[in-house]
Amino acid sequence: MNVGLYSQSFKSVTKLAAIKELSVTARHQECLQACQEVIMQAPEDVLDKYAGKSLLALGQIEQARKLLLKAQQLNQSDHETAKDIGECYLQLQDTNNARKWYVTSLSINNKYLPAINNIANLESKSGNHKNAIEFFKKAISADPDVLNAMLFSASSAIALGQADQEIAFALSVLEINPNKLKANELLDISCQSNGDQEKAIEYYQKEISCNSKVLSSVTT
């Protein structure tokens, strides 16, 4: 066995693990530097992937897109890279290409939650609420906590004054689970802010009803 070759290979594997760790922990500048240091020793697709992810996080979108596309050409079985290419296009406000790459990601791994969620969000923002709900249902089947994440998204939309997005998220939650706590409350708040007092009262009453059902199930 060639000990020198084995030693070099082991070092490369160790460095690749370190690069992945830097990327996952959002130390993107260090990740880029580490990629540059091992560029002649490590698999090109891995370096391009993590350098691209770091550039994306640092807001250098066009450079990130080029590297991620190169990584994807070298390894077409990586669903995460396909999703990140979609993120680049989303940042560039090219929603058609963003959606295309999210779909590509799902064609590789049909249970990949970030891609499912991103498509659902795109559908919701485009007003395609029926399609959005179907994708949200897929996301929830992959991770039940997604329903709570949708409520948090609705709450954030309230804080940002994005009433349309907040309503879309809250209505999607209720379509999936009509008794989900907080969803009607968020719609109540939204209607109040829009001056629709009649609808606000309707959602307020529904929230009280949901709370009563939950309380009844706990005490019986």
Instruction: Give me the residue spans of the domains in the chain.
Output: 11-110, 115-213
Q: How many other C-beta atoms lie within 10 A of the C-beta of residue 157? A: 20
DSSP string, 93-119: T-HHHHHHHHHHHHHH-TT-HHHHHHH
* 31: helix, strand or coil: helix
Read off the pTM: 0.60
CATH match of 115-213 with 1.10.3720.10: no
65: Cα within 13 Å, side-chain hemisphere? 15
> What is the SS3 string spanning 174-189?
HHHCCCCCCHHHHHHH
Same topology, domains 11-110 and 115-213? Answer is yes
Give the other-Cβ count within 10 Å of 125's Cβ. 14
The single-letter DSSP state of residue 60 is -
Which CATH code of 1.25.40.10, 3.40.30.10, 1.10.3720.10, 3.40.50.300 fits the domain covering 11-110? 1.25.40.10
Q: Which residues lie below 8 Å from residue 97, measured CB to CB, with a gap of 6+?
A: 86, 89
pLDDT in tens, the chain (220 residues): 333 333 343 345 456 677 778 787 878 788 777 776 665 555 566 778 888 988 998 899 999 999 999 999 989 999 999 999 999 999 999 999 999 999 999 999 988 888 888 888 888 778 787 787 787 777 777 777 766 766 666 666 666 666 666 677 777 777 777 877 778 887 888 788 778 888 888 888 888 887 776 555 544 4
